[in-house]
Amino acid sequence: MTPPETDLIGTTANGDMAPAVLSCPRLTILTQRREFQRAARGKRVAMAGFVLQTLHRPKGEAIGIRIGYTCSKKVGNAVARNRAKRRLREIARAVLPQLGAQGYDYVLIGRRDATASLPFAQLLADLEKALNILHGPRK
């Protein structure tokens, strides 16, 4: 099976709209240690399943939302840390495009015995609540 062909505007060959995934703003991943350290100097909100750190980038830097994920060895062995980070990636993918602010860096830090074991719906609600605390409720 081949995917439908699209033109550069975002419609398929027969005129239908391209999948919604293409219209969603893309999250850029933080990869360098200095980016995580810079975000650690910003605001933070501790929730039951994770800690959210955020920092507003200077105006000269590229716009968009950047996100980083980290779990220390306190979370558990490699399997537990990877599971926790997978869950953090999914809640960020679901919530940040709608509630995240452009020009901000976010870092999600996994918590021991919580990130991997809490219900997924609670993690989603906690991230929404944390973003409302940081940026105020969206209207």
Map tokens 């200095």 to a residue.
Answer: 34
At 69-95, the pLDDT tens digits run 999 999 999 999 999 999 999 999 999
- The DSSP output letter for 49 is S
Query: Is residue 10 included in any domain, yes or no?
Result: no
CATH classification of the domain holding 99: 3.30.230.10
For 32, 53, 55, 77, 104, the CA distances from 38, given in Å and listed in that order, are 10, 10, 8, 27, 12
At 41-51, the pLDDT tens digits run 999 999 999 99
Query: Is residue 131 included in any domain, yes or no?
Result: yes
Which pLDDT does position 13 carry in this prediction? 55
- Of 136, 133, 131, nearest to 99 by C-alpha is 131
Residue 103 is part of which domain span?
25-135
